[in-house]
Structure 1
């Protein structure tokens, strides 16, 4: 039968002491784990938010940016120790089951007139194949006048069998009107004339966008009839109630065209990417692509092979697709594709023999383009089976061919220094996308460091509190320890029994405090921290693995065991006599008694524990009888009396005094440090708010939607001048970049009167820098004598353009076509039929470009006439329509961007704000994802501070109370000596209070010297913290003094359990 644990019984029989010991353990565990959770969340979430600022590099062949070989540069990048991963987008052809795309890819009039032949898609997505009855055939005349010139025929069909077409173009059971245009098809006129009403035909129609005149629109159609074989086979008669046998060899070519069209109108042009979020055009600083819902794909998707997809908004809206919808795709590798489609050529003949496989993908993001509808969908590279990417010709590539991500932005400078020259030797340029990463890390660096020091300080506080608890427990149990040793109990067994109750109490306190702290801190973090994903698709999280809690508890528990065991070892080294006396031999030698009481000294020491209380009383009685008069003089409530007691008793109880002072000192420094952290962090956040420039754009809500209330040949502008003026004059904008376009209907030489019919595309920029950056070949820009880019770009008003010629830059190709030269004076007729004199002041070669993060993208076929924006607005006034409205917001409004958005959306939603519905894009991703959420992290610290302060007060109160519960003998002596009860209580209270005051003063002094004197800490707040801590000490001291002094002296000297 095991022996009972005397120490455990003794502890249970002292419930007040045990409860307060448990409370202190729970409170310090609560504080430590709260600070630990705070530390982990701050360190982790700032790292996650810092992932927003990645070092993304781009390689470009210097001699041939569009299709030059980059393989040597790619190998060099991969060899770098700073390389994380590369990103080479690959074209993928994926055919959707039952879902149509919205790609009008065909060699239409608009495309043929605007692009060189090598850029034609050679696909036929706008075709319509059907079998139907000719309901009506009517000759078509100019302006609808039958006496006018014949233009061709209007053919009305009833579709009974739809073979291939977009659903918005044709449906079974409905009618469709096709036009036959005689011009250019004169040889086919007799063939069309042979068609008869009520006869069924196999027909091929198409939408040749832009080819139909205004006059023909009165017939209510935009579709033309088209030869079945692209030659002279315009139709095939089909007898009533019969079908065509497409399996026959004669119809095989037609069947192939129909099947290819069905593939193409369901094809989703896809780019497979290692990390969509790291692609140059997806960066918010590019102001190019933007998310409307969901997230970008990230590198994790590729590593895990996630079957996820990001969809263009225009397609999603048109086909009713939404986030989390699943799309089944059939993949096929093509050899000469146009955005994933089958185009005329090798694929037309061989596509049926290519391998295929099906898979299902879920939509996780929807995005759009600031200039027009986006058309690419994106999937992770790791989600595609090997060998299913497609090839395309170089001129159809419109995405950066290769980009890469470094392992850390901190290595970017070193990477550039190491590899810039080797890249140049390879004929490859290296560029890194701009970001505010350095500013972010400079701001969060102090926050992270402060969080680390926070944890270190509170770890020291935990250590000091555990030492205090062990000391108080051993002080309370040392008599029991001595008795067991005197009774012959083995020392090892005594040590184990002595430490066990403290470990049990500590374990319960640790578990209770830790669970409460864990749940409280995480719930608070969930309410505070962000749930917005970073562009990399990584969601900031307030969740922590439960193993962290287990680890924290084990750390505290192990510290408690180690400190307890060390305390027991120290206690075991003392003799039984020394433990029972309650004083050391050194203290015994230093005591000085009155000569008249010297004979009583030997009577104080006794070897009988059972007689200790009576012996002490007997000795006190003898001492008091020697010189009662002198003792009465020394006894009282004077400051000298309290001071003498505090000093002498504090010196005799050195360890207690040191612990009391140290706890106060450490607590105050810790609270001061937290306040300093909060103030520095808030200063850094405010600085980021005040220095972060947020850009915004006004774009069409649906770029594919037709413009309303606008005539043809007016350009691509979508927002009127009045709307732009309201936005720019709102007081919210500090800078802007504007572009607009127009059409000139006629150009006439002034000297020869030679006229040139338009329309001519005209484009305008608002600054010389914008003109230069918009040219694919800026060096090709040449000016007439006396002109330069600055003079050309000067601001002009209506009076200026009436007095002087309009300065005009012509594309070199147009100059050649019109036989004009630089310096020629011309008369132009704008779209409002107003006439202005102008002079050709210069010429340029090549198309316009758009620059994305320093990476140029050529706008094929875009060679407009260029004029200053001020000239265009002077010419067209309120009729000016802008194509680009980009502006920067005043940083003073960064904290109330929601209100800014409301005010601006009210402007752009007003009637006649633009030619179509408008959308405001505020590029506030950096503010929302990084700065706002960084501020939320700091707000978590602010919320936790009062909790830590409260716990600090409770610990101060609890420790003071526990210390006073150990002063039974001192209290009894004071009472026996006749000291008044109020004086005894004040005496007991004064010692821990005085020591705490000293600790607080030292803490205030250190905090002031370190932080308050330099202005990084509010002294007022620090004083409040000090005062609150002392209030806790006073409360604990008062309660402890009351509990001790409410007992009789004999009860205080006796050991009762």
Structure 2
């Protein structure tokens, strides 16, 4: 039968002391775990935000950057320990039976035929229309001389087999043309068509093809079999039987068109967010809603998709909508579509499978024509990618990501030259990671110091708690030893109640602190997803709480065992005597017969009954005899008593002082961490220059009145410039000159072609806009400053305006620098002076202009100052680029700017939007500020815990001072004086600790302005207030008892 635990019984018999000890453990644990959760969350989330600045690289074949083989280079860099993963995107054909793709006018139309060589023709017929309709109008178009040009044919559609809804729907009447010049042998067939009859017809849109008038009606009819079968005449109510073997070819074309009209061009990707053209600095694509796909989507095989704006608008698709796809592997596709040839013949026999994908992102393009959807590579079954001929590819579809940006320089040093030797160029994308980590690293370091300081405080507080428990129970320990209980067994019994109290307190403090800190984090931390799709989270594994509580319990167990061992090393008589004075002091007192501290004088007639409390006569007699010849009580003697008592209990006094010093110092430390963090965030805000662009949307359909590719009018730009958020602007515009001739000559230069003109608005953007700025040469007397100055209408009329010509144009038409030419635009003619020449293309951010540079035959752009175009074109001028730099001082108010601009642009019916390129500021800096604000949210909790700990320790220490209080009362000291003596000691020790901490804090932080004196004095005053309340409460509670009750020990 096991022996009862004396210490456990004693603990239960002293419920107030035990409860206070338990509360003390709970408060200390609450404060520490709150700081630990804050530390772990901010360390983790700043790391998550830092992942935004990834090291992304590309490989290009030097000889052929788009199509050149880079597989050897990929194999080489894959051996690097810094290589995380690569992303080689592949084309997928995905058919959406429920949704149409946007009308992208892909066919062998006049524009394709005149722009590209035959091998680059798509051989896809997306603009075809197959229908049955009644001929309601047949009108011959003739010249003035009576020559037939063709026919206008109006059909009322009653049965639609295939056709994009933008072109054709049942119930509509649509006008088509038949041009005799294109099909002279087919005129008799058209002549035989009769108004009022129904026909099975194949129509199509021949973009930029010939028309019978100037209305640009490109809808034509063409043979059903691409030969001479122009139609099939049908009776009323009669339909066409496409199951007829004779119509098998026609049915196949109809079915292919229906497949293609529902086929989305899809790319697989291992990490869409790491694609170079999706980086904000590229200014190519931008998110409208949701997020990009990330590498985790690839690893987790998530069935998700990011779709372009046009697809979403056309089919009214939203985030989290599901889309069903039928995937098919094609062998000769045109961006996922079935094209003429082997696929058109065999597509029905190809294997397919269905899958459902969830929309997680919708994006747009700066050119307004984004068309690709993206899915995680692993979400597609193996063998279902499609093959496309190289001539259709326009970009390098490979990039890679390193493990960390910290290793980028080592990686480049190791592989740049070896790759160059095999003809491959290594390029790493620029990012602002260095500036981010320069700001975040001090914050993370300060948080580590905060946690360390609070950890030290917890250690000291546990030591003090164990010391108080030891003082409370050393008499029981001595009795056990005196009764012959082995020290090992006594130690176990001594430690058990302390661990029980501590464990309950640690759990009771740990769980609420964990819940509170995570709840506050959830309220504080933003849930906005980063571009890589990683969402800052306020969640932590419960194992973290278990580990923290277990660590605190082990620490308490260590101190408890050390406390037991220290008791075991002392003599039993000394423990029973309860005297902690040194033996030499006791001997000195015995020899001299003098007291070690002054005691107040009392009289026998005053001692017999004091405050209604009976005092035994034996004690009264002894006290009366002992007081003879002693000096009378004075405030100085009381002060000496307090001082001597502090010195006789050095460990308790030191721990009390250190607790006060530590908590106040920790408050100052945390405050300076908050201020430093705020300064770092402010620096990031103030150093981040945000840009914005006016861009067209996928629904931009407005009629443009000039001959340029821009869609932005000056009025819209002025509306944006009127905002006080805008610091400066950068504008670009273009137009077309119809004619050009040399000065004094009546003969036009190249009358068959028009001349493309482009303009920038300042010298910096001129140089930045040239692909090869070193090639720019001016004629004598001219330079960029003179060229790019603001030209007025009067100057242009009185003298020629300047222009820079591409060298190819000068050589082609035998033009020279310094020569004058006369140009004619839309409604104007002026003299133009050739003042410079250049080679290469333009580095404009406008994707349409880039396409024109590739597609315009032989002609790069003629360059003029923007002020010239503004004078020539007047209100007709539309801008291709309208870019604005915003004031960094207003970065925190960008939401207000966006709201203002949304209201302004609402006048344009959604055709123009302002895109603010604030991804880094919004995702990283603002999120970092949210994380740092968690410090401010939890700071009052830390202060509150320190106040309660201070109050609880002082209260608990005075509850253990019952013996001293009893003796003082027996010796005749008044109750008020005893209270003053008791509460003075912890208050004085706390004040000494606070003063030392104030001195340290002042030297470290207040002189540098990192911590305000006001906040420091506030936290100091609160701690002292807590210590004062705890001391006064404890002194009152102790002195309210009778002296004999105070001397009794409950066994």
TM-score, length-scaled by structure 1: 0.91
Q: CA deviation at 1:840?
A: 4.0
Which among 826, 830, 835 is matched to residue 825 of structure 2? 830
Deviations 1:984-1021 (A, max 9, x none): 22121221111112211222222233333343332332
State whether residues 701 and 911 of structure 2, in contact with CA within 8 Å, keep that contact through their aligned partners in structure 1: no
Which among 781, 798, 816 is matched to residue 793 of structure 2? 798
Within 1, Cα distance between the matches of 2:862 and 2:67?
28
Q: Provide the residue aligned with 1:660 in structure 2.
A: 656
State whether residues 96 and 264 of structure 2, in contact with CA within 8 Å, keep that contact through their aligned partners in structure 1: yes
Equivalent positions of 1:266-305 (< 5 A) are: 266-305=262-301
Q: CA deviation at 1:627?
A: 5.4
Cα distance 1:844–1:366, how it changes in 2: closer, same or farther (>3 A)?
A: same
Which among 723, 741, 744 is matched to residue 751 of structure 1? 744
Q: CA deviation at 1:858?
A: 8.6
Cα distance 1:140–1:618, how it changes in 2: closer, same or farther (>3 A)?
A: farther
Q: Provide the residue aligned with 1:705 in structure 2.
A: 700
Deviations 1:884-917 (A, max 9, x none): 1112111000011112223333443346xx9x73
Within 2, Cα distance between the matches of 1:121 and 1:792?
43
The alignment status of 1:513 with 2:477, answered yes or no, reads no
Within 1, Cα distance between the matches of 2:676 and 2:581?
53
Q: Provide the residue aligned with 2:499 in structure 1.
A: 503
Which among 175, 182, 185 is matched to residue 184 of structure 1? 182
Cα distance 1:963–1:244, how it changes in 2: closer, same or farther (>3 A)?
A: same
Q: CA deviation at 1:715?
A: 2.4
Within 2, Cα distance between the matches of 1:546 and 1:1009?
41
Q: Provide the residue aligned with 2:550 in structure 1.
A: 554
Cα distance 1:400–1:766, how it changes in 2: closer, same or farther (>3 A)?
A: farther
Cα distance 1:738–1:118, how it changes in 2: closer, same or farther (>3 A)?
A: farther
The DSSP-based 3-state class of the residue aligned with 1:860 is helix
Cα distance 1:599–1:21, how it changes in 2: closer, same or farther (>3 A)?
A: closer
Within 2, Cα distance between the matches of 1:36 and 1:470?
23
Which among 524, 527, 533 is matched to residue 523 of structure 2? 527
The DSSP-based 3-state class of the residue aligned with 1:705 is coil
The alignment status of 1:807 with 2:808, answered yes or no, reads no
The DSSP-based 3-state class of the residue aligned with 1:1017 is coil
The DSSP-based 3-state class of the residue aligned with 1:628 is coil
Q: Provide the residue aligned with 2:979 in structure 1.
A: 985
RMSD of the TM alignment (CA)? 3.0
Q: Provide the residue aligned with 2:369 in structure 1.
A: 373
Cα distance 1:769–1:260, how it changes in 2: closer, same or farther (>3 A)?
A: farther
The DSSP-based 3-state class of the residue aligned with 1:593 is helix
Cα distance 1:1005–1:617, how it changes in 2: closer, same or farther (>3 A)?
A: farther
Q: CA deviation at 1:475?
A: 0.9
The alignment status of 1:1038 with 2:1032, answered yes or no, reads yes
> Could you list the runs of 5+ residues in structure 1 that have no partner in the other structure?
601-613
Q: CA deviation at 1:936?
A: 1.2
Q: Does 786-795 or 688-697 show the bigger shift?
A: 786-795
Within 2, Cα distance between the matches of 1:596 and 1:77?
89
Equivalent positions of 1:845-884 (< 5 A) are: 848=842, 850=844, 860-862=854-856, 863-884=860-881
Q: CA deviation at 1:351?
A: 3.2
State whether residues 116 and 861 of structure 1, in contact with CA within 8 Å, keep that contact through their aligned partners in structure 2: no
Q: Provide the residue aligned with 1:445 in structure 2.
A: 441
Q: Does 38-47 or 225-234 show the bigger shift?
A: 225-234
Within 2, Cα distance between the matches of 1:811 and 1:485?
105
Deviations 1:666-706 (A, max 9, x none): 11221111011011001101111111111111112x33431
Equivalent positions of 1:932-943 (< 5 A) are: 932-943=926-937
Deviations 1:905-938 (A, max 9, x none): 3443346xx9x73211111121221111111111
The DSSP-based 3-state class of the residue aligned with 2:630 is helix
Q: Provide the residue aligned with 1:124 in structure 2.
A: 125
State whether residues 366 and 846 of structure 2, in contact with CA within 8 Å, keep that contact through their aligned partners in structure 1: no
Deviations 1:249-271 (A, max 9, x none): 64333333222212211110011
State whether residues 58 and 430 of structure 1, in contact with CA within 8 Å, keep that contact through their aligned partners in structure 2: yes
The alignment status of 1:264 with 2:260, answered yes or no, reads yes
Within 2, Cα distance between the matches of 1:775 and 1:334?
40
Cα distance 1:617–1:928, how it changes in 2: closer, same or farther (>3 A)?
A: farther
The DSSP-based 3-state class of the residue aligned with 1:172 is coil
State whether residues 97 and 327 of structure 1, in contact with CA within 8 Å, keep that contact through their aligned partners in structure 2: no
Q: Provide the residue aligned with 1:737 in structure 2.
A: 730
State whether residues 211 and 218 of structure 2, in contact with CA within 8 Å, keep that contact through their aligned partners in structure 1: no
Which among 828, 833, 841 is matched to residue 839 of structure 1? 833
Within 2, Cα distance between the matches of 1:501 and 1:751?
111
State whether residues 27 and 955 of structure 1, in contact with CA within 8 Å, keep that contact through their aligned partners in structure 2: yes
Within 2, Cα distance between the matches of 1:741 and 1:483?
101
Q: CA deviation at 1:472?
A: 0.7
Q: Provide the residue aligned with 2:156 in structure 1.
A: 158
Cα distance 1:482–1:618, how it changes in 2: closer, same or farther (>3 A)?
A: farther
Cα distance 1:846–1:686, how it changes in 2: closer, same or farther (>3 A)?
A: closer
Within 2, Cα distance between the matches of 1:777 and 1:670?
59
Q: Provide the residue aligned with 2:905 in structure 1.
A: 908
Equivalent positions of 1:25-44 (< 5 A) are: 25-44=25-44
State whether residues 295 and 535 of structure 1, in contact with CA within 8 Å, keep that contact through their aligned partners in structure 2: yes
Cα distance 1:818–1:161, how it changes in 2: closer, same or farther (>3 A)?
A: farther
Cα distance 1:907–1:242, how it changes in 2: closer, same or farther (>3 A)?
A: closer
The DSSP-based 3-state class of the residue aligned with 1:34 is helix
State whether residues 636 and 979 of structure 1, in contact with CA within 8 Å, keep that contact through their aligned partners in structure 2: no
Q: Does 5-14 or 741-750 show the bigger shift?
A: 741-750
Q: Does 231-240 or 57-66 show the bigger shift?
A: 231-240
Within 2, Cα distance between the matches of 1:776 and 1:396?
24
Within 1, Cα distance between the matches of 2:592 and 2:562?
42
Cα distance 1:204–1:422, how it changes in 2: closer, same or farther (>3 A)?
A: same
Q: CA deviation at 1:799?
A: 2.7
Q: Does 48-57 or 745-754 show the bigger shift?
A: 745-754
Which among 965, 969, 975 is matched to residue 975 of structure 1? 969
Within 1, Cα distance between the matches of 2:757 and 2:130?
38
The DSSP-based 3-state class of the residue aligned with 2:864 is strand
Equivalent positions of 1:410-425 (< 5 A) are: 410-425=406-421
Within 2, Cα distance between the matches of 1:559 and 1:1040?
28
Cα distance 1:930–1:393, how it changes in 2: closer, same or farther (>3 A)?
A: same
Deviations 1:150-172 (A, max 9, x none): 44211122334322111232223
Q: Does 948-957 or 993-1002 show the bigger shift?
A: 993-1002
Within 2, Cα distance between the matches of 1:444 and 1:529?
16
Q: Does 264-273 or 554-563 show the bigger shift?
A: 554-563
Q: CA deviation at 1:517?
A: 0.8
Q: CA deviation at 1:786?
A: 6.0
Deviations 1:100-157 (A, max 9, x none): 1113212333444455555432321011012333333222357xxx987644211122
Deviations 1:584-613 (A, max 9, x none): 58346545337684899xxxxxxxxxxxxx
Q: Provide the residue aligned with 1:229 in structure 2.
A: 225
State whether residues 849 and 858 of structure 1, in contact with CA within 8 Å, keep that contact through their aligned partners in structure 2: no
Q: CA deviation at 1:803?
A: 2.8
Cα distance 1:790–1:189, how it changes in 2: closer, same or farther (>3 A)?
A: farther
Within 1, Cα distance between the matches of 2:251 and 2:765?
51
Q: CA deviation at 1:199?
A: 3.4
State whether residues 846 and 880 of structure 2, in contact with CA within 8 Å, keep that contact through their aligned partners in structure 1: no
The alignment status of 1:1003 with 2:1000, answered yes or no, reads no
Cα distance 1:810–1:593, how it changes in 2: closer, same or farther (>3 A)?
A: closer
Deviations 1:499-545 (A, max 9, x none): 22222222221122112111111111111001001111011111112
Within 2, Cα distance between the matches of 1:850 and 1:591?
97
Which among 880, 884, 887 is matched to residue 887 of structure 1? 884
Q: CA deviation at 1:814?
A: 5.8
Within 1, Cα distance between the matches of 2:707 and 2:953?
83
Q: CA deviation at 1:621?
A: 5.5
The DSSP-based 3-state class of the residue aligned with 2:589 is coil
Within 2, Cα distance between the matches of 1:61 and 1:129?
45
State whether residues 295 and 365 of structure 1, in contact with CA within 8 Å, keep that contact through their aligned partners in structure 2: yes
> Could you list the runs of 5+ residues in structure 2 that have no partner in the other structure?
597-613
Within 2, Cα distance between the matches of 1:201 and 1:262?
20
The alignment status of 1:68 with 2:68, answered yes or no, reads yes
Within 2, Cα distance between the matches of 1:849 and 1:348?
40
State whether residues 125 and 261 of structure 1, in contact with CA within 8 Å, keep that contact through their aligned partners in structure 2: yes
